[in-house]
């Protein structure tokens, strides 16, 4: 049975959502009235989906909490909020939610959105089982650090020698900036610096990573961001 965490500071609304969820045959593992309590619940419960209000009691609002949940736990979030102004929606979109439902929400819409979210979560789990590398980038990409091989959903991604070297040095210093000089000296130790060649190589690797993880730090170097 799938576990749902409800984050809502209005008790009547929280109970209403809980009843809907239970009617779907799902389990509500907890109801949290604040972002802080939600994060604490995630430490103690297996959660498959979070239903998140935006404005909550406490110092942390729902969007900040959802961003932490996405980055730390990789759990999908559905927002349920009475607010739909442009500023709030833009902040919410940055956290890549499944959906943003505006109160008073439609019961069938909530049911449909939850089903979509859980189906997407199941597909993520299936893809994760196919991963072969010892270093997990996310639910799609993994990396074999010993053989310097990149995998996408369990399938080997073809890398040229230089693409392999570039990814190798970025992985070794993951989440830290690799300077332009260090990178070029590692890949082309006997050649002079060539900005166009370097940028082309980075662009090819970035494309093979589906434009994820690889960040350009202007005038400094590059960083591979892996949570």
Sheet order of strands, 221-224 included? 177-179, 221-224, 214-217
**CATH fit for domain 135-224, picks 1.10.10.10, 1.10.1200.10, 3.10.520.10, 1.10.150.120:** 1.10.10.10
Average pLDDT in the chain: 91
Rg (CA), the chain: 21
Q: Are 10 and 98 in contact (CB under 8 A)?
A: no
> In this predicted model, what pLDDT tens digit does every residue of 76-123 receive, in sequence order?
999 999 998 999 999 999 998 999 999 988 889 999 999 998 887 776
C-beta pairs of 25-28 under 8 Å, 24+ apart in sequence = 25/1, 26/1, 26/2, 26/114, 27/1, 27/2, 27/3, 28/3, 28/4
* Confidence at residue 77, expressed as pLDDT on a 0 to 100 scale: 95
Does residue 153 register a pLDDT over 90? no
Question: Given this structure, which CATH class describes domain 3-129?
Answer: alpha beta
pTM: 0.58
- Asked if 113 contacts 101 with a C-beta cutoff of 8 angstroms, the reply is yes
Torsion 93-96-98-103 (CA) sign: negative
**Token representation of residue 147:** 């053989």
- The answer to whether residue 188 scores a pLDDT higher than 70 is yes
Domain boundaries, the chain: 3-129, 135-224
């Amino acid at each position: 049975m799938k576990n749902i965490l409800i984050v809502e500071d209005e008790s009547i609304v929280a109970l209403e959502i809980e009843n809907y969820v239970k009617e779907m045959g799902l389990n509500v593992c907890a109801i949290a009235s604040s972002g802080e309590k939600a994060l604490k619940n995630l430490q103690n419960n297996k959660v498959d989906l979070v239903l998140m209000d935006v404005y909550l009691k406490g110092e942390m609002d729902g969007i900040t909490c959802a961003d932490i949940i996405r980055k730390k736990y990789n759990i999908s979030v559905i927002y349920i909020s009475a607010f739909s102004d442009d500023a709030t929606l833009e902040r919410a979109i940055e956290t890549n939610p499944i959906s943003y439902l505006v109160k008073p929400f439609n019961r069938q819409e909530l049911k449909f959105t939850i089903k979509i979210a859980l189906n997407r979560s199941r597909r993520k789990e299936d893809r994760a089982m196919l991963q072969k590398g010892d270093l997990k980038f996310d639910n799609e990409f993994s990396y074999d650090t010993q053989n310097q091989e990149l995998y996408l959903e369990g399938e080997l991604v073809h890398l040229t020698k230089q693409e392999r070297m570039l990814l190798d040095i970025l992985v070794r210093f993951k989440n830290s900036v690799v300077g332009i000089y260090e990178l070029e000296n590692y890949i082309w130790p006997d050649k002079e610096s060539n900005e166009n060649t370097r940028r082309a190589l980075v662009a090819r690797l970035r494309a093979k990573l589906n434009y994820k993880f690889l960040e350009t730090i202007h005038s400094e170097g590059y960083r591979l961001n892996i949570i």
